[in-house]
Structure 1
Amino acid sequence: MAQPLARNTRRLPMVDRDQALSFLQQSLQTQAEKLYGIALEDLHLRPAHQGGQNIVYSYTKDSREYILRISFRSDRPPEQIQAELDFVLFLSDHGARVSTPVRSRQGRYSEVLWLGERPLSLVVFEKAPGDRLADRGYQYRDGAPIEEYFANWGQTLGKMHRLARRYAPDPSSARRALLVDTLADQTIPRYVPASQRRVRERCAQLIERLRQLPRDEGAFGLIHGDFSDGNFCIDYADGTITAFDFDDAAYCWFMYDLADAWRAGTGWIAHEADAEKRRAFMERYFATLLQGYAKEHTLSGEWLGRLPLFVELVAIEAVMNEFRAIAEQGEPYDDEGLAFALRCIEEGIPFLGFFDPIYSHEHPFQLR
């Protein structure tokens, strides 16, 4: 049954997606109406994707579209979900375009259903206006240059970082974790196989370098943590961007989000055979993104010069998500993709191997 958080959830038993989904199909028959005034048959399950972190439904009520997100991962207990929502509401209150949570009939932004001793956190969000770029076949709006999209992406990110500098969570509430500490103390020891000795060594070396960096007020704070084009919608009327999916939010350097945006840009030129043309495009792309970013927030040249370091961190975090999905969700081992990423980490190949001879434009980011 649904209830506010009232149990110790620090050490949570593991539950996989299939278990959670089977439970929800039964529980939501009564709880969907009780909590949100929506009938089960009006909930539409969204397809899962590889490495998916949540179970997601969409529905329409009173001519408005909503998203119901259910979090089941063991490292995302209800108090961390509440901390995420507090940040999202702060951003919204201060003018950022974000998908905001809505209260349940009980007046709460998040609800909990218990699967045995395992809490599943439910949150309803207003659907972000517009569409994801992938939903439009990666076609941007008619008559507008793609550079507008890149700049708007950067500006949206810059505004979130500018506001994050002012964000001060309630001292009595849970705080989102430090990304580097989570990697070092939990993710790597738990999920990286002991056989991956070189990967563990490289991760430890990177973490040590990161821990030596200053945590400047203007360069460090609570970040989105996964601000790729799958986690925002574009209003095709004017190009404005609305962000969602802050469940990876963590304390880290702002350069992490920028490095993640750099990684996402590789898809535009991934099938180009000439490495120098790939490099030239990425320089133009990232410069345009930074022009938008600078409209809201500024990072020094010294911080921007650390882009290779943070792209490496993004790569390691992505590999950790692969290992976690294999361990917790039983997802198939992606031999070629994961092997490519591991080779780059082991050998210290910068920029995801995108400009290295190891890269194949015919089989992007796969080891052949």
Structure 2
Amino acid sequence: MLKLKYLINNVNLAEMLLGNWEYDEKSIDMFKYYRISSNAIYPFQVRGKTQFLRFSPKSEKYKENVLAELEFISFLRSEQYGALETVVSKSGEELIEVETPWGEYYASVFKCVSGVQISKTEFSDKVIFSHGKALGKLHKLSSVYNPAKNKRWSYRDVLDWIHDTLVDFPHEKSALMETKVLRDYFESIPINNSNFGLIHYDFECDNVFYDEVSQSCNVIDFDDAMYHWYVMDIEQTLESLQDFIPTEMFQLKKQIFLDGYRTEYNISDDMLSLLPACKRFANLYGYVRILRSADEHLENEPEWLESLREKLIKAMKNKSSCFGIEI
């Protein structure tokens, strides 16, 4: 999540960055449908077809991570996987670095994928099965993937980042303890090519689109990808599904999802035992990202930002409920 000061709509910045790509000038009106979280996303059109400008301050990203994300996407597409497609700039680059009046920024553009977000479907067995199948295929491809140039960070790097971030928050002793608990626990879990690799990390219902015509899924937003146990992706996905599926139906839908997954890739019941620890990893990572994001206060903050801050504080409380407890 970006620092809160970067969540404010800046149409002039978006238009300046978009100037590095072709676009339909009238489609700038679509900027009103922007969203900002871990990146700023602004829709626009090229010859009537929707694309998305994605940008973030350079201070908020590691360049190697961004380049590694784009390289992984290129690999997936070369294997006919349903991943979003990048669009090169006028200068022929997938990622540009731009000095602006608002600071230095990274920017990329992506084409719109086909289908409808799974979060907007009726969560039929067919859709859930396809969702699982798409994740299984992703992990199957990841298990044979070797980056040619850039490598994404790993869960160990994330825990190091969490530890270093908490240095600036000496009162966050329980979060620091949770970091140690998780590091010690994960160090005891065997790593091999079949259970560990580059994961999406955010394979939630808003980032996966079901295409009725092909009866398959298309995936966006690889921005949080990291090297982790594949079960981490399963945990995050199931957590997302729980937000949409009635409690009494969840176990059935969970099994359908896993059945779909196993048509492409095998996951043992032993590995599924990591689900609780993976949830705690996600909670800790989310907690510290919010902590860092919300730490800085702006003068005359708009009402919506004050309201968001309150929601984030509540989310932090929920995420920290198990901090420090032995796994």
Q: Give TM class, smaller chain.
A: 0.7 to 0.9
Unpaired stretches in structure 2, ≥5 consecutive residues: 299-307
State the partner residue of 2:6. Answer: 17
Counterpart pick for 1:309 among 272, 277, 300: 277
Letter in 1 for 2:18: A
Q: Is the 8 A contact 1:53 1:73 kept in 2?
A: no
State the partner residue of 1:100. Answer: 85
Residue 289 (str. 1) matches residue 257 (str. 2): yes
Residue 57 (str. 1) matches residue 46 (str. 2): no
- Are residues 239 and 72 of structure 1, via their aligned partners in 2, closer, same or farther at CA, if it must alter by over 3 Å? farther
The percent identity for this pair of structures is 20
Counterpart pick for 1:259 among 227, 235, 240: 235
Counterpart pick for 1:187 among 137, 140, 162: 162
Letter in 2 for 1:32: L
Q: Is the 8 A contact 2:64 2:152 kept in 1?
A: no
State the partner residue of 2:145. Answer: 167
Residue 32 (str. 1) matches residue 28 (str. 2): no
The secondary structure found in structure 2 opposite 1:129 is: coil
Residue 209 (str. 1) matches residue 195 (str. 2): no
The secondary structure found in structure 1 opposite 2:322 is: helix
Unpaired stretches in structure 1, ≥5 consecutive residues: 1-13, 271-277, 351-368
TM-score, normalised to structure 2, is: 0.85
Q: Distance in 2 between matches of 1:47 and 1:38?
A: 16
Structure 1 residues 323-368: Cα deviation after superposition (integer angstroms, max 9, x where no partner): 23213687514343322221233557x9xxxxxxxxxxxxxxxxxx
State the partner residue of 2:309. Answer: 332
- Are residues 188 and 258 of structure 1, via their aligned partners in 2, closer, same or farther at CA, if it must alter by over 3 Å? same
State the partner residue of 1:9. Answer: none
Measured after TM superposition, the shift of residue 116 of structure 1 is 7.0
Q: What pairs up with 1:118-157 in 2 under 5 angstroms?
A: 119-134=104-119, 136=120, 139-140=121-122, 146-157=124-135
Measured after TM superposition, the shift of residue 133 of structure 1 is 3.5
Q: Which structure has the higher relative contact order (CA within 8 Å, separation 6+)?
A: 2
The secondary structure found in structure 2 opposite 1:56 is: strand
Letter in 2 for 1:95: Q
Letter in 2 for 1:189: D
TM-score, normalised to structure 1, is: 0.76
Letter in 1 for 2:208: F
- Are residues 26 and 283 of structure 1, via their aligned partners in 2, closer, same or farther at CA, if it must alter by over 3 Å? closer
Q: Distance in 1 between matches of 2:69 and 2:126?
A: 29
- Are residues 200 and 288 of structure 1, via their aligned partners in 2, closer, same or farther at CA, if it must alter by over 3 Å? same
Aligned residues: 312
State the partner residue of 1:87. Answer: 72
Q: Is the 8 A contact 1:72 1:119 kept in 2?
A: yes
Q: Distance in 2 between matches of 1:283 and 1:345?
A: 27
The secondary structure found in structure 1 opposite 2:243 is: helix
Letter in 2 for 1:316: L
